């Protein structure tokens, strides 16, 4: 079984918000991704609403026919939106006011009370709760103890290392291999703890394959690299190529 691909379409909303215009439509983008074989759609509702708006979440809940994963902070205001919109999964992420994108995983150990409270609210309403964490044994244990049903492993350090890697012996390759090992170990540990395992952040057509070889990883959330390619070649081939990169990685080459 290959891992599922959820396409993060935040950047489609970013283009729309640049002009506060009606287009491009996030619902149309989601439908095109689904038609191209995406297994799900991911969107991130941020406190500053700089790309996805509350209305987008409700629209997507009506139009997405595969799987809708909603990323958000643990803030009460955000959890209330999730309870009303009822996505298929809610992924809890850290959020800092001036960040360009999510900076690393949620420190579940240090924020266990707030994370547990958010997860309790979600699960009481039968929503599936995932937490975005660094690939670290203590964070996996803290996520499980807080009641999460899934962890999404943050692949940012691995992805950064692969950007510096030139071939298998190049600069960054050693660091990429070490990060890959950390991710594989955390995935194994999470699965052994009864958690479902997802991964994402900074993944590309070139670096996703090595990670997809880890059979515990059931789902990838990929945005920037895929949408960047879609700007040039269209969403349909961009989604198909990413699915193929994941499939080939899982098959071992
Ligand atoms: N997973 C999480 C939790 C994220 O916050 C993001 C970025 O919004 C992604 C995955 C996707 O990262 P990227 O856009 O770099 O593929």
Task: Concatenate the DSSP letters of all residues of 23-64 into one string.
Answer: -S-HHHHHHHHHHTT-SEEEEE--TT-SS--HHHHHHHHHH-
Burial classification of residue 123, based on how many CB atoms lie within 10 Å of its CB (0-12 exposed, 13-18 middle, 19 or more buried): middle
Could you give the 3-state DSSP secondary structure of residue 137? helix
**What is the DSSP code (8-state) at residue 85?**
H
Collect all residues with Cβ–Cβ distance below 8 Å to 248 and sequence separation of at least 6.
209, 212
Are 92 and 106 contacting, i.e. CB atoms less than 8 angstroms apart? yes
The reported pLDDT for the residue numbered 252 is: 86
- Percentage of the residues of the chain whose pLDDT score is greater than 90: 90
223 pocket-lining for ligand 1 (C-beta < 6 Å): yes
Cβ–ligand 1 contact at 96 (below 6 Å): no
pLDDT of 161 > 80? The answer is yes
pLDDT of residue 134: 98
- Specify the CATH number for the domain of residue 189: 3.20.20.70
Residue 223 alpha carbon to ligand 1 centre in Å: 6
pLDDT above 60 for 175: yes
For residues 101 and 48, which has the higher predicted lDDT (pLDDT)?
48
Number of the ligand 1 atom closest to the C-alpha atom of 224: 14
Q: How far is the CA of 203 from the centre of ligand 1 (A)?
A: 8
Ligand 1 centroid–CA 56 distance in Å is 18
Ligand 1 center to 63 CA (angstroms): 22
Instruction: State pTM to two decimals.
Output: 0.96
Q: Which of 100, 200, 208 is nearest to 150 (CA)?
A: 200
Q: What is the pLDDT of residue 170?
A: 64
Residue nearest to atom 3 of ligand 1 (CA): 132
Residue 91 in contact with ligand 1 by CB distance below 6 A: yes
The domain of 189 spans 4-251
Q: Given the CA of residue 10, which atom of ligand 1 is nearest to it?
A: 8
Instruction: Identify the pLDDT of residue 101.
Output: 74
Classified as helix, coil or strand, 69 is strand
Name which of 1-15, 167-181, 189-203, 213-227 the model is least confident about.
Answer: 167-181
Which CA distances in Å does 236 have to 4, 29, 59, 206, 231? 16, 10, 21, 18, 11
**CA–CA–CA angle 206, 209, 213 (5° rounding):** 160
Which tokens belong to 3?
């891992």
- What does the block give as tokens for 219? 């789902």
Residue 41 makes CB contacts below 8 A (sequence gap 6+) with 6, 7, 8, 9, 30, 33, 34, 60, 64, 66, 67, 68, 69
Averaged confidence pLDDT in the chain: 95
pLDDT digit string, tens, across residues 119-139: 999 999 999 999 999 999 999
Closest atom of ligand 1 to 71 CA is 3
44: annotated active-site residue: yes
Catalytic residue among 11, 34, 44, 219: 44
> For the chain, what is the domain count?
1
Q: What is the DSSP letter of 130?
A: E
Distance between CA atoms of residues 11 and 132, nearest Å: 20
Q: What pLDDT does 168 receive? A: 54
If one counts every other C-beta atom within 10 angstroms of the C-beta of residue 203, the result is: 28
Most confident of 27-41, 92-106, 170-184: 27-41
- Residue 159 Cα: closest atom of ligand 1: 15
Mutate to test the pocket of ligand 1, among 71, 133, 211 (most ligand atoms within 8 A of CB): 71
Tell me whether residue 201 is one of the annotated catalytic residues: yes
Find tokens 């909603």 and name the residue: 70
Q: Does the pLDDT of residue 189 top 60, yes or no?
A: yes
51 alpha-carbon distance from chain centroid: 16
201 lines ligand 1 (CB under 6 A): yes
140: enclosing H helix or E strand? helix 137-145
């Amino acid at each position: 079984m290959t891992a599922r691909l959820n396409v993060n379409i935040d950047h489609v909303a970013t283009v729309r918000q640049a002009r506060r215009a009606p287009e491009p439509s996030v619902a149309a983008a989601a439908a095109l991704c689904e038609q191209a074989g995406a297994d799900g759609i991911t969107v991130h509702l941020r406190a500053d609403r700089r790309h996805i708006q509350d209305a987008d979440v409700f629209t997507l809940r009506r139009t997405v026919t595969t799987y809708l994963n909603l990323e958000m902070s643990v803030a009460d205001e955000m959890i209330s939106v999730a309870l009303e919109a009822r996505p298929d999964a809610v992924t809890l992420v850290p959020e800092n006011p001036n960040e360009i994108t999510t900076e690393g995983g949620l420190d579940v150990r240090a924020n266990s009370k707030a994370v547990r409270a958010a997860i309790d609210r979600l699960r009481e309403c039968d929503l599936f709760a995932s937490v975005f964490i660094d690939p670290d044994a203590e964070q996996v244990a803290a996520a499980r103890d807080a009641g999460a049903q899934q962890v999404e492993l943050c692949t940012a350090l691995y992805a950064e290392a692969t950007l510096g890697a030139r071939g298998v012996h190049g600069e960054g390759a050693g660091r990429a291999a070490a990060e890959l090992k950390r991710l594989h170990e955390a995935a194994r540990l999470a699965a052994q703890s009864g958690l479902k395992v997802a991964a994402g952040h900074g993944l590309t057509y070139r670096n996703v394959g090595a990670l997809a070889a880890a059979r515990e990883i059931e789902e990838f959330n990929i945005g920037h690299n895929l949408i960047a390619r879609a700007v040039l070649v269209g969403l349909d081939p961009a989604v198909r190529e990413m699915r193929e990169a994941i499939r080939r990685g899982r098959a071992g080459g």
